[in-house]
Structure 1
Amino acid sequence: MNRYGTFLRATLAAGVATMALAGCGMMGMNSNTASFSGAMNASSEVPPNMTRGSGMAEATLDKGTNVLKYKVTYSGLSGPATAAHFHGPAVAGANAGVVVPFTSAATPIEGTATLTPAQAADLMAGKWYANVHTAANPGGEIRGQMLPK
């Protein structure tokens, strides 16, 4: 029984060590990527509006190359989207200029952009938002602040 206990402890210790090392390797691979998301709605627009549209903006930033990959989906807008883009730098409740225009406003919106170091820093600080515009709401119908996950 003593040998079995020693064998069991050694096996468990080896398994824990292997999992710890694998976890460290995975952390190293993911540490160069940051993920962001923003739930988009009309009440987040500045000023807010009364539409029922909603959406989700999701993005990943490669911190080594500053390449941003994004996907924006939405539904329930008052009419067809006329434009959509990322704005910044601005905290929630404030407006800012366009930093990344989207080539199409049709859902789903997918693309990539290479950011400047200042743009990447603003995004990392939560100072970007995504919004979608319509004819009824030319200043923006739905908006979502891009926050780190």
Structure 2
Amino acid sequence: MKKLVVLITVFLLSACGFEATQTYRLTLSGSQAVPINDSELSTKAIVRLDEKRRKLRARLYIDGTEGFKFAHIHSGGIGETGGVEYTFEAPKKHKWKHGEKRYLVVRENGLSHAEMEALKNGDWYINLHTEAVPSGEVRAQIVPKTTMIISFKADGSQQVPSVTTGASGQGYLAYNSAEETLNLRVNSQGIKDAVAAHIHTGRVGSNGGVLVVMNQNA
């Protein structure tokens, strides 16, 4: 009987436990927001995934976040906006200690296979909404530390030679050094007759050959 009780206890502890198989340490900034903004706000988040038990745990620090409204985990790749998957909430039954940084959490059980794949593929992001920028002032794509994200603005002044135009664009690039893969998305504004878009070789102020032909959506 004692052996049976011990086995049942071990099973229950295993079923209720959490063991992260993937951990993401993120910095939210306006440079990843869509559209890009120049906000000086920056904060941290930690996302952990237990693939075996299909559980998600996330923590978002909100100390010093002026005008905070709410925060979510959204679906969507770099440079995209998507629907809300989960909402960050105050931790239950937690008593804040003096000097402790305040944070919000997501605790979700029973993730589907598709949800876990979307998360691991970098197709989820954290978005923090404020009164100043209700659509999201700072954001972080949920990607591993081996992935570097760079955002940039494009306009006619950078052309060689420069051109006067009302068209502009905002680009988001993710480079995974472990897999040696690059993902680039450029959102354009004020362009109705685009015929092609490329990644070229060439330094600032010079023109170079086409390296990659970019696909255009509608």
The TM-score normalised by the length of structure 2 is 0.49
Gapped regions of structure 1 (runs ≥ 5): 1-30
Correspondence for 1:61:
49
Check if 1:101 corresponds to 2:87.
Answer: yes
Contact 1:38 1:130 in 2 (8 A): no
Ranked by relative contact order (alpha carbons within 8 Å, sequence separation 6 or more), the top structure is: 1
- The CA deviation string for residues 86-138 of structure 1, in whole angstroms up to 9 with x for no partner, is 001x211111111011124x941123112222111100111111111011100
Q: Return the offset for 1:147.
A: 0.8
One-letter amino acid matched to 1:62: D
Correspondence for 1:112:
107
Identity, % of aligned positions: 30
Check if 1:36 corresponds to 2:24.
Answer: yes
Q: Return the offset for 1:37.
A: 2.6
Correspondence for 1:131:
127
Contact 1:54 1:74 in 2 (8 A): no
1:1-16 equivalences under 5 Å are: none
1:91 counterpart (61, 66, 77): 77
CA distance in 1, matches of 2:74, 2:54: 17
Check if 1:144 corresponds to 2:140.
Answer: yes
Structure (1/2) with the larger helix percentage: 1
One-letter amino acid matched to 1:70: A
CA distance in 2, matches of 1:134, 1:80: 5
Gapped regions of structure 2 (runs ≥ 5): 1-18, 91-100, 146-218
CA distance in 1, matches of 2:46, 2:89: 17
State the number of aligned residues. Answer: 117
Runs of 4+ in 1 over 6 A off after TM superposition: none
RMSD: 2.3
